[in-house]
Each structure stands twice: as C-alpha cells, then as structure tokens.
Structure 1
Amino acid sequence: MAALAGCVTAPPAEPPKATRTGVQPLDRLNVAIVPPERDLQALLMAGDFALAATDLKGASDAYAKATLLSDDPKVAARATELALAVHDQAAAGKAVARWATLGAKPAELASARARMALDRGDTAEAQRQLDALVATGDPDAWREFGRILVSGRDAAQAGVLLERIATPQRLPNDSTAWLAMAELGENLGRHDYAKTIGEAALARFHNGTTYAWAGQQAFRAGDKAAARKLFAKAVEREPTNARLRMAYATLLVQLGDRKAATRLLSTGAQNPDTYAMRLSLAARANDKAAIRKLYDDIRRQSDDVQTENAFTLGQLAELLGKQEDALDWYAAVGDDDPRIFDASVRSAVVLHMQGKDDDAHEIVAELQTTYAERPEQLLKAFAVDGELYMDARRFDAAADAYGKALRVKPDDTDMLYGRGLAYAEAGRVDDAVADFRKILELKPGDIETSNALGYTLADNDRDLGEAQNLIQAARAARPDDPSVADSWGWLKFRQGELDQAESTLRSAWAQRKDADIGVHLAEVLWTRGRHDEARKLLNEVRRIDPKNAALEKTERKLRP
C-alpha cells in the first residue's frame, strides 16, 4: 500500500505532453467525494444499521440529517417516529415541519403533533391536535386516536382526553369504534365512561358485537345469567359470525356447560379455529364419540378443507389411536402453515410411541437445524428431545438435551426443572439439587420446585429437615394435590413415621392411581410386614405403568 500511495502522490519531474493517443479516459475523470453528512444513502444506511442494533438515538440522529437531504415524505415520517421514540422534542419538531413541506396528510401531522404534546405533558395542545385528527374524517382517524392514547406515558392524562373527545356526539357511525373506545376506557380505569359508551353502543347498533360486549361486562360484574343471555342474543343477531360463536362457547365452558358449548360450535359455518376448539372440548372430556364424529365430519369435506385442517385431523387421529393416519396428516401440513412446527413435534412423539426412536430424534434434529436462528422454536425442539429421552429412561441423554436448551436461554426455569428431574432419575443427585436450588433463586417459593427438591432430598435420605420445610410449603399451597401428598408420605417413611406415611399415601393413591404413589405405598406396606398386600399393589402398578423406574427399583429391593 505504501508503494501505491507513493505512485499516487509524487508527481513526475517532467509531466508528459498530452497526446491524443496517450491520454487514457480515466486520466480525465475527477471523482467528487461527498462528505458523509451530505450523503443521503450513507445516512439512511447508518440509521437502519443503528435500528438493527436497537440504537434508537443513533437511528434518530441519522434520519434527522437524512430528512434534510431527502424529498421523500417517508424519510421525514421515519425521522418523526424515531425522534418521538427517543423523546427528542426539537428533532421531532423539525422532522414534522419537513414532513409537512413534503405533503404529509393533515391526519398524519395532527397525530405527530398530538404525540409531541402528550410527551411534554401539554394536555391542552394534545386536545387541540386530537380534535384536529378526528375532524379530518380520515378512515383511520379514530383507530389512530386510540393508539396515541394507549402509547401515552400518563394514563390519567389519556383518560381525561378520552372522555373529552370520544363522546357519543362525535364518535362515528361504526360500532367497532364505539366498543374500541369503551375497551380503552376500561384499560385506562375509566369504568363509568366505558359502561356509558358500551350501553350507548348497544342501544344504537343492536348488533352481535355490541351484545357480546355487554355480555362480557355482565360477566365481569359477576352476573353470569345475564352474560349468557346477552351472548345468546349476540349469536342470534349474527349466526354466521364464527368469532362470536367461539366467544359464547368460551363463556359456556367457563360456566361449566361444555355440552352446550359443543352443540353451539357444531352449528353454523366452520373454520380451522372452530374445529380446533371442538377438538379441545372433546379431548378434555375424553369423549371418544365426539372425537370420532368430528374426525368423520372433517373427512367428508373437500380436499382443500381437509388440507387446511390437516393438523387438527392429525390430532384427532392420534386420539383415536390411528397412529399411521396421524403421521400422514401431520406430513400434509404445509410449510407455510403456522402449525408446521407443532406438526413435526407431534410426528416425533407418534414415532416414539411406535418404538421408532431413531426416526423421532431425527425429526427433532431437523427442527433444531431448521429453527437454529429462532430461539423460541429451538428451545422447544431441545425440550422435546429431553422429554422423549426421559420417557425412554435415557436420563443422561435427557439431561444433555435440556443442557443444550439452557445454552439457548440460560436460566430458563422450565429447562432447569426438566434437567433437574433427569439428573435425579440418573442418580446425579447433587446436580439435580443444584438445578432445583437455582430455580428457587430465580422464582422464590415456586411450588413445583419446592416439592421436587423436597422429594429429591427425602428420596435420597438427606437434609430431611430442609425437605420437610419445602414439602410443608407445597402442602400449604396445594393441600389437595396427590403429588405433593406423595412427597409428604415418602418423607414420613424416611423419618420412620410409618402410620402417617401409610395414611398419607393411601389418601393420595385413592385420589390418583399414579404408579409412583402406588410403589411408595407398597414399600411402606412391605416394611410393616404386610407383604401380600404390597405384592398385590405392585401388580396393580405394573398394569398401570409396566416401565416405571420406581417399580423396577422397588421390586429388586423387595425380591426375596
């Protein structure tokens, strides 16, 4: 480079005479160097790079300079947004002035000036600009009005402006706008205003959405009967509105009437959301007849409808025990379908259930590669790997999978919990205890973790005083939880309190026929000399979960 620089800067002692044949085109080319502060493209690139790095101040400064050089109103609009984002009133004022010169719409200018006024706490000016905004008649004016108030830093100020401007006399002839203002009033704590606007909307429009709003308000007020009647009217007014039917069905579920919810969703036009909700209701009720009927109903639809609902069909096939059909349906989920990730996960689970673990883990590995740049999905893919290994009792591999997830999102309490369980099952008790303690540092008093740590300590006959404190805390929070009762009964066994251990474990077993609870109760009974009863109980556990790790361990211990 030094040699090249010398050639450029040192002129020859005797300049050569120019000749027509000796002058090259580049010899006559003068390249103008634009200063960075005058290079529009460089400034725009600098602003975008700053945005990518979440440097809002840097982006605002770059766009403020760019808007002085550009005749594009979009640049001025971006400069305004960025200046407002960093609360730079001076830069926002200049950007708005430039935007106005370049032809911004009146609604756009009023919106920007209202936000500036709100940012500096000038309620009077904010009201003038918001009045100007809604007076423009712009189709998006009232929606923008709501967005401005939602983004304001002072909820009390926003509430005052809402009540002053969004009056019944000024709101447009659009029920959506009325209900949006009522909802905004609720969010800002202006409950009387919200009630007034909502009731006025119902009296004026009498459409399904206004009845649904009134039903929602009645439910919030504790009047469940009125809520049900109002939602019924909403659906009666708009019977083809699937969204309203789903809202009413949700209310019916909350009221404990799942059958009515199922009947309601079965009527009228169907879409993927209504099918998915019907599936959820049938699955929760373990209603095989309803599951089969829904599966057959969708199968009778056109090929396009079946493809659109391929994920739901896969879930239904799983519930019906049609594993091969489920795999076919999951494979039919399109790459552009938002449920494609979940379809791949379910395929892996079905393959695992069929004993094809290599194929299952291959699918999960593909997910980890495909979603390597999407942390949320990558985390789930590692978690699925961990769950599959846990179910296969490959506990070290499960711990490794959860460890990889924790490299994606350190201190994720769900992943720490999964790894803690894997460590405990693998006999790596110190590692398990460390993970559970870490969770309690991040989420003090977490019930699941308190119970897990207490049980792990009790199961390994260590720090029983601490174990008692942890499980007692879990019992206080969940007195009717069989898993917590199991931990308490097992702790009492370790402490030699056999009467309390037996009574607690019997109660837990009566509530839930869980294999671990049954194994613990059987060991207590064996210790008390009731061998026949213990053997009978272990046989029952074997029917429930023949691969249970605790069952195998206990049978080895008790085998003569």
Structure 2
Amino acid sequence: MNVSFVKQLFKRATQASVVPRAVSARRALGAAVIAAWAFALAPAYAQDQSPDTDDTSVSMPDAFGPMSPDEAKDLPNVDLTSQIVFQVLAAEVALQRDQPAPAYQTYLALARDTHDPRMAQRATEIALAAQSPSDALTAAQLWQQYAPSSERASQLDASLLVLSGKPEDAEALLGRELAKVPADNRGSAILALQVLLSRGPNHAGGQKVLQDLLKDDMNRPEAQLAMARQQLVADDAAGARKSLEQALKLKPDYLPAALMLSQMGPEARAEGIASVEKFVQQNPKSRDGRLALAQLYLASDRLDDAQKQFEVMHSNNSSDLTPLMALALIKIQQRKFSDAQSFLTQYASQAQKTPGADPSQAYLYLAQISVEQNDTNGALSWLDKIPPGSQQYLPAQITRAQLLAKQGKVDDARKLLAGLQSPDPHDQALIARTDASILFDAKRYPEAESRLADAVKDFPDDPDLTYDYAMAAEKNGHYDLMETQLRKLIRTQPDNPQAYNALGYSLADRNQRLPEADKLIEKASSLAPNDAFIMDSVGWVKYRMGDTTDAIKILRHAYDLQPNAEIGAHLGEVLWKNGDQEQARAAWREARKLEPDNDTLIKTLKRFQVNDL
C-alpha cells in the first residue's frame, strides 16, 4: 500500500523533524550564525544599554543586538573625534549606494585604530551581508580580540572559522561555549554544535573536533547521534551505524536515532524497528515509544502496523492530539471519510481545550474531505471556521478560491487570491501558481502564460513555477519557450523526472526528434519507474516509433495503475491503429466516464471520427 501521503501529512501535522537538512552555499553564512545562537543557550546580550542623550553622540549600527554590561566593560576610552564621525558617516553612505567594500575597509581601519569592538562588529556585519566569509572572519577575530568578554564575538568567530575550513582553530572557542551550557540543555547544544561543524567544508576535521569535544559526553544519546550525523557527512557510514546503535542502547526509544538508522538500508531499518519494538514491549504505556515505533513503521511503508500503534495511543489517552490526527490521515488515505471526519472533529474539539493547539488544521482537512465528496457548501462551512492569523488561513483561502473557480466564478476566485498577503516568498509563489492554474482550468491559456511569465520574473528559482510556465507555453504553441524553461529546470534539478518527461512527451506528441524524446522519457522513467503518467509517455513514444505491441502493454499497465482519461485516449488510439477497434472503443468509453471534457480525448475521438461510443 502506498503510504507516502500519510507520511508527508503526518510529518507536517506533528511538526516532526529529526534529520538535518542540507543548507545551500549561498545561505551558509546566515545559517552558521543562526546555529551559533542556537548553540549558545545563555547569550550575553540580555540587558539593553540606555541610549545616550548627548546630541553630539553617534549611534553605532548594531549588527547582532544591544551590548551586555560585560561587553560594555571592553569599550576603550577613545574620544569621538570629528574624523571618526566623518569616516562612520562616509561608510554608511557607501553602504546606501550599494558599495560594501569601502564601507567594510573603513570600519576595519577604524577598529584597528581605536580598538573599539563596535567598529569590528559593524565590519563583520557588512562582510556577512556581502557573503564574504574570509572578510567576515578577519573582522570577527578583531571583534573578539577587542571584546574578550563578548560571547557573541566568540560564537561568530568560531562559526566563521568552521565555515572557512578551520574547525581545529575553532575547537578552543567551541569548547568554552559548550562548557557554559547548563546540564539540562547540553543535549540540544551538542546537536547544534554538530550542525555548525557539518556546514564547514572540512568534514573530517569537523569529525575530529566533535570527537574531542564530546569525549566526556558519550554516555548521552544526543552525543552518539551527533557523532553519527557528522560521520555520515564525512562519508563514514559504518561508523555512523555503530554510533546510532550505541545511541539506541542508551535510549531504546530515541526516535531521531531510530529513524536515521532505519534510513541506512533494509538491515539497519529492521534493527532500528526491532530496538524500539523491544522497548515498547517492556514499556507498553510509553507514549513516546509507541510514537517512535509508529513513525518507523510509516517510514517502512507499514501503514497497518503504524495504525495499530496510533490506535493503542488513542486508547491510552483519548485527548492526545497526535494519534487523533494520524488516524484521521490514515483514514483519508484509505478513503474511509466517515471515520476520518470522526477523528478530525474529535481533534478540533480537543485542540480548542489545549493551550497552543490550533483546530484549524482539522478544519482544513474536513473541508478537503467535503471537496472529495462534492459537498461545496460543507467545504466552505469548514473553511469559515479558520480565522486570520492561523497557519492554515492561507491554505484555506486558496482552497476557497479553487472552489469558487469550480463554480464558474473565476474572476471572484482571482480577486480573492489578489487580496491575499504574505511576507513568505514561497506563499507568494503558491498564490501565483494557484491563480495561473485557475486560468488554465478555465481554458484562458494566454492569460495563464502571461501570469506565470510575471511570476517567474519575481521568483526565478522556483522550480514549480518554471514547470507550470513551460506547460502554459506548450499549451499556447510556444514550443521554443517551453523547451527553454524545461531545459533550465533540468539543469537546476537534474533528478526531476517531470522535467524530462514533459519535454520528451511534447516532442513525441508532435512526432519530432523521436530518438531524443525516447532518451528523455527513458531518463524520466529511470528516476520514477512507477509513475503512471511517465509510463504513458514511454508507451506513447514507442507508438510514435512504430512499436505498437510494447506500446499497448505499457499503456495498459499505466492505465491500471492510474485510470486517467488521457492515458485511456492514448491506449484507445494505439489499439485502433493496431486493428482492434472494439477494444479501442471500450478504452475510450472508460476514459469518457472518467473525464468527458478531457482535451486529449475529445481531439482523439474527433480525429478518428468516432461519435457512437
């Protein structure tokens, strides 16, 4: 049984995140700074300075928050001369003119002349904003030199040393920071420390530093997990597995270690599951143990076993929100909508009584169930319960717009979308995609392409927008533009099967460059061998190249996996061309039942002058 739907939604519903995500090189500096703050759990800037009321004073731009009293002790006794004021103002003007280099050099020179850590701090901020790690490191080391009491300077200096491939030079700084962390927060600090070390280019050096720093902490499961993560970064899979096994010996229900182990191959997955199963048998009332086991089962596509664990959790505590949502999602996957509605209404009721919980998530799923059941009014009623400010408000309004469009109120739907505001670029891109999709479904193809052209200018790195733009261009016969966009997507996402498939299918459908189309679709199939629509493309290109026998077999298999009007139209055409007109008619009849207005089906029937299905 395919459980990817449940796995994805359950992960989102429970906000679980146990495996560190990779960080792009472009964002590495900012990510490292964030990691440094997470690592230092007792920051030194807890108290604001009182503002200087002297009109002649210059307020120094503060890169990372106000100074602490300890940091203020490090300030030098230097007169604020007119020359210093002039240099500061000149540097800030240069920044406003988008000239960070002279501004950085000015502040760095001021720091060296005055030994004022605020000057070095400002130079560090400028270098960070300019994505210049070597310059940021130079300034941060000056900042630390002139402000030895500043924890912030030490943290940033260590971060930049790691990012510069010098983790061994950061070891002493990191050790001092780790020693300051209270014992009850040490596990989290250890994991944050590993995240920081993993972002540097010297992975082996980072592993050695981590091993040195944690030599007295190896009885902690977090330390073993941190070592395993760093060992994976350093391509030491065998070492990582041993560390994870040790973490589970220390804490058998340690979900992050169990999940990570389960992803290291079938044998390791079985080992991780067996460890948690044993723990649950010995501790049948353990809520965390059963949750860990259920998630492991989901990761292994064992939906029925996961369901049993959630049912026991629900039986043990009927007010626990996690099993309520998990069971609801499983029932949605099984299309047992009545059971799903029962769990979701229980979830919403309990969430209203639970501080910090939001029933809106349940309302959104209830609305989506109503949509599945063609109950538009019911869906709108559930959406009305989701207030502005909820995390689900934007998805709710997008769903509302889609429902309006489905009712033929396309302009009303677009007006609703135009009124949605979000500072998140991903949300803005989603709104644009939804707007274009509504135009596309209304067969307003030129408008859809124009909308997507504007969106791609605003969000050039969004792969979904790029793909949608290509498909709109293809629909309008702008094949060169379509190919340009899909080639761009293939370059930026070489493992994206849909990009290869879309380009290959378009070529095959137009009966052009068939050997190239065949290679593109073959690549798509190797990346997603069980995708029914890619199978349809494989069958279609074989038909175009004259192999009707294999084409029929592949298209039948694709249709069995995913009954779809377009696949049915293709199957019917190949059967007709192969001389089996009765089976072709049968395939077309089934396809018309699924989607009578499908463009491909309508054009196919018209081309073969079939009017008597």
Both proteins in one fold, TM over 0.5: yes
Q: Which range moves more in the overlay, 455-464 or 181-190?
A: 181-190
Aligned with 1:545 (options 595, 600, 607): 595
Q: Secondary structure at the match of 2:350?
A: coil
Corresponding residue for residue 15 of structure 1: none
Corresponding residue for residue 276 of structure 2: 231
- Decide whether aligned partners of structure 1 residues 507 and 350 sit closer, same or farther in structure 2, where only a CA change above 3 A counts: same
- Decide whether aligned partners of structure 1 residues 483 and 99 sit closer, same or farther in structure 2, where only a CA change above 3 A counts: same
Corresponding residue for residue 433 of structure 2: 383
Corresponding residue for residue 258 of structure 1: 303
Which amino acid is the alignment partner of residue 594 of structure 2?
Answer: I
**Contact 2:505/2:537 (<8 A) preserved:** yes
Corresponding residue for residue 3 of structure 1: none
CA–CA separation in structure 2 for the residues paired with 1:445 and 1:165? 38
Aligned with 1:338 (options 385, 391, 394): 391
**Contact 1:215/1:230 (<8 A) preserved:** no
Q: Secondary structure at the match of 1:547?
A: coil
Q: Secondary structure at the match of 1:308?
A: coil
Aligned with 1:282 (options 331, 335, 345): 331
Aligned with 1:351 (options 404, 411, 415): 404
Post-superposition shift, 1:124?
A: 7.3
- Decide whether aligned partners of structure 1 residues 453 and 314 sit closer, same or farther in structure 2, where only a CA change above 3 A counts: same
TM-score normalised per structure 2: 0.68
**Contact 1:47/1:62 (<8 A) preserved:** no
**Contact 1:349/1:388 (<8 A) preserved:** yes
- Decide whether aligned partners of structure 1 residues 442 and 291 sit closer, same or farther in structure 2, where only a CA change above 3 A counts: same
**Relative CO higher for 1 or 2, CA cutoff 8 Å, sep ≥ 6?**
2
CA–CA separation in structure 2 for the residues paired with 1:137 and 1:505? 61
Q: Which range moves more in the overlay, 82-91 or 431-440?
A: 82-91
Post-superposition shift, 1:514?
A: 1.7
Post-superposition shift, 1:516?
A: 1.2
**1:322-471 equivalence runs, <5 A:** 322-367=375-420, 370-371=421-422, 374-410=424-460, 412-429=462-479, 431-440=481-490, 447-471=497-521
> Within the alignment, does 1:163 sit opposite 2:211 as a pair?
yes
> Within the alignment, does 1:217 sit opposite 2:261 as a pair?
yes
- Decide whether aligned partners of structure 1 residues 364 and 134 sit closer, same or farther in structure 2, where only a CA change above 3 A counts: closer
Corresponding residue for residue 18 of structure 2: none
Q: Secondary structure at the match of 2:460?
A: coil
Identity between Structure 1 and Structure 2 (%): 24
Which amino acid is the alignment partner of residue 220 of structure 1?
Answer: M
Asked which structure has the greater CA Rg, the reply is 1
**Contact 2:175/2:213 (<8 A) preserved:** yes
CA–CA separation in structure 1 for the residues paired with 2:176 and 2:235? 25
Which amino acid is the alignment partner of residue 566 of structure 2?
Answer: D
CA–CA separation in structure 1 for the residues paired with 2:211 and 2:398? 49
Corresponding residue for residue 309 of structure 1: 359
Post-superposition shift, 1:258?
A: 0.7
Which amino acid is the alignment partner of residue 134 of structure 2?
Answer: V
CA–CA separation in structure 2 for the residues paired with 1:187 and 1:550? 48
Q: List per-residue Cα deviations over 1:201-240 (Å, max 9, x = no partner).
A: 666x64743x763574366362444322322456675957
> Within the alignment, does 1:298 sit opposite 2:347 as a pair?
yes
Q: List per-residue Cα deviations over 1:115-141 (Å, max 9, x = no partner).
A: 687688888765555554445566677
Q: Secondary structure at the match of 2:92?
A: helix
**Contact 2:532/2:559 (<8 A) preserved:** yes
CA–CA separation in structure 2 for the residues paired with 1:122 and 1:556? 69
Post-superposition shift, 1:515?
A: 0.8
- Decide whether aligned partners of structure 1 residues 54 and 333 sit closer, same or farther in structure 2, where only a CA change above 3 A counts: farther
- Decide whether aligned partners of structure 1 residues 207 and 99 sit closer, same or farther in structure 2, where only a CA change above 3 A counts: farther
Q: List per-residue Cα deviations over 1:94-152 (Å, max 9, x = no partner).
A: 4223313xx446xx676567668768888876555555444556667754754664455
Count the aligned residue pairs: 517
Corresponding residue for residue 522 of structure 1: 572
CA–CA separation in structure 1 for the residues paired with 2:87 and 2:322? 46
Corresponding residue for residue 38 of structure 1: 84
CA–CA separation in structure 1 for the residues paired with 2:94 and 2:603? 61
Corresponding residue for residue 97 of structure 1: 145
Post-superposition shift, 1:549?
A: 1.0
Q: List per-residue Cα deviations over 1:58-103 (Å, max 9, x = no partner).
A: 45853774798798x8887676777894356664444223313xx4
- Decide whether aligned partners of structure 1 residues 532 and 148 sit closer, same or farther in structure 2, where only a CA change above 3 A counts: closer
Q: List per-residue Cα deviations over 1:446-480 (Å, max 9, x = no partner).
A: 54333323332333344445444444554566565
**Contact 1:60/1:82 (<8 A) preserved:** no
Q: Secondary structure at the match of 1:421?
A: helix
CA–CA separation in structure 2 for the residues paired with 1:95 and 1:423? 54
**Contact 1:279/1:316 (<8 A) preserved:** no
CA–CA separation in structure 2 for the residues paired with 1:512 and 1:413? 25
Post-superposition shift, 1:544?
A: 0.7
**1:3-152 equivalence runs, <5 A:** 37-39=83-85, 46=92, 55=100, 58=103, 62=107, 65=110, 85-87=133-135, 91-100=139-148, 103-104=149-150, 126-136=170-180, 143=190, 146=194, 149-150=197-198, 152=200
CA–CA separation in structure 2 for the residues paired with 1:80 and 1:468? 53
CA–CA separation in structure 1 for the residues paired with 2:350 and 2:112? 55
Corresponding residue for residue 21 of structure 1: none
Which amino acid is the alignment partner of residue 302 of structure 2?
Answer: D
Post-superposition shift, 1:538?
A: 2.5
CA–CA separation in structure 1 for the residues paired with 2:219 and 2:518? 64
- Decide whether aligned partners of structure 1 residues 334 and 246 sit closer, same or farther in structure 2, where only a CA change above 3 A counts: farther
**Contact 2:217/2:223 (<8 A) preserved:** yes
CA–CA separation in structure 2 for the residues paired with 1:113 and 1:410? 34
- Decide whether aligned partners of structure 1 residues 334 and 70 sit closer, same or farther in structure 2, where only a CA change above 3 A counts: farther
**Contact 1:515/1:545 (<8 A) preserved:** yes
CA–CA separation in structure 1 for the residues paired with 2:136 and 2:507? 57
CA–CA separation in structure 1 for the residues paired with 2:557 and 2:114? 78
Q: Which runs of 5+ in 2 are unaligned?
A: 1-54, 59-79
CA–CA separation in structure 1 for the residues paired with 2:226 and 2:341? 40
- Decide whether aligned partners of structure 1 residues 67 and 261 sit closer, same or farther in structure 2, where only a CA change above 3 A counts: farther
Post-superposition shift, 1:545?
A: 0.6
Q: Secondary structure at the match of 1:282?
A: helix
- Decide whether aligned partners of structure 1 residues 465 and 151 sit closer, same or farther in structure 2, where only a CA change above 3 A counts: closer
- Decide whether aligned partners of structure 1 residues 539 and 183 sit closer, same or farther in structure 2, where only a CA change above 3 A counts: closer
- Decide whether aligned partners of structure 1 residues 65 and 229 sit closer, same or farther in structure 2, where only a CA change above 3 A counts: same
Q: Secondary structure at the match of 2:347?
A: helix
> Within the alignment, does 1:486 sit opposite 2:536 as a pair?
yes
CA–CA separation in structure 2 for the residues paired with 1:472 and 1:315? 37
Q: Which range moves more in the overlay, 129-138 or 547-556?
A: 129-138
TM-score normalised per structure 1: 0.73
Q: Secondary structure at the match of 2:502?
A: helix
